[in-house]
């Protein structure tokens, strides 16, 4: 048997019925379908937390750019001195809050 697919002869003799409609059954049992005008959206717990964080960040004062520029200049010139006792005290206080 020889099969040729040259684009002229169809592989099937039955023509496609383009006007036929496929009826779909709704197999989603237990799913509530929202009526028109009753769309609903809910935020997850993480989304609510993120929203609160954004609001909180909006209430924070801007960075002290003058202080940062001053520290940069001190570091670049080599005149910035780290106060080890002060740094150690702050680290201990953060790691061991009372």
pLDDT at 63: 76
Place of tokens 């801007």: 62
Q: Cα(71)–Cα(82) distance, rounded to whole angstroms? A: 11
- pTM of the predicted model over 0.75: no
Phi, psi angles (nearest 5°) of residue 67: -65, -40
Q: Cα(36)–Cα(55) distance, rounded to whole angstroms? A: 33
Average pLDDT over residues 62-74: 88
User: For 34-66, what is each residue's pLDDT tens digit?
Assistant: 556 788 888 888 988 998 888 888 877 777 888
């Amino acid at each position: 048997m020889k099969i040729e697919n040259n684009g002229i002869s169809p592989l099937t003799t039955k023509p496609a019925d383009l006007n036929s409609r496929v009826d779909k059954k709704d197999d989603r049992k237990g799913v509530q379908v929202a009526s028109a005008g009753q769309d609903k959206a809910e935020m997850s717990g993480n989304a609510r937390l993120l929203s609160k964080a954004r609001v909180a960040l909006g209430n924070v004062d801007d960075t002290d750019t003058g202080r940062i520029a001053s520290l940069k200049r001190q570091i670049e010139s080599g005149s910035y001195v780290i106060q080890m006792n002060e740094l150690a005290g702050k680290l201990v206080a953060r790691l061991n809050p009372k």
